[in-house]
Amino acid sequence: MVVDRNWRCRDGEIDLVLTRARLLVFCEVKTRSSDAYGSPAAAVTPTKQARLRKLGMRWIDAQQVRPASLRFDVACVIGRDVSVIESAF
């Protein structure tokens, strides 16, 4: 279930926040018109991953929730094709 979309704070933005039972998922969405310049997932660098982890903790603090577990996914969109890398980092 989608809990939040495009959540923003001063440090950045989380594209999607989802839940399934007690699992909380933060999902980064990367879109490209083609894969000519590589996979959209390649744009989620270690620096971006660290920022998303920090943003995830900020979201949890702001919402005052305590999930049983967390996961960070990357949704790759190329044209009309969508693939999701679960537990991407």
pLDDT digits (tens, 9 = 90+) for 24-73: 999 999 999 988 888 999 999 999 999 999 999 999 999 999 999 999 99
Per the structure, the complete domain to which residue 38 belongs is given by 2-85
Confidence (pLDDT) at 54:
98
**CATH number of the domain encompassing residue 29:** 3.40.1350.10
Pick from 83, 78, 80, 2: nearest CA to 35: 78
64/7 Cα distance (integer angstroms): 15
| The token pair that represents 17 in the structure block | 């926040």
Using DSSP, state whether 50 is helix, strand or coil.
helix
CB of 16 closer than 8 Å to CB of 59: no
Q: What total of structural domains would you count in the chain? A: 1
Is this prediction's pTM over 0.85? yes
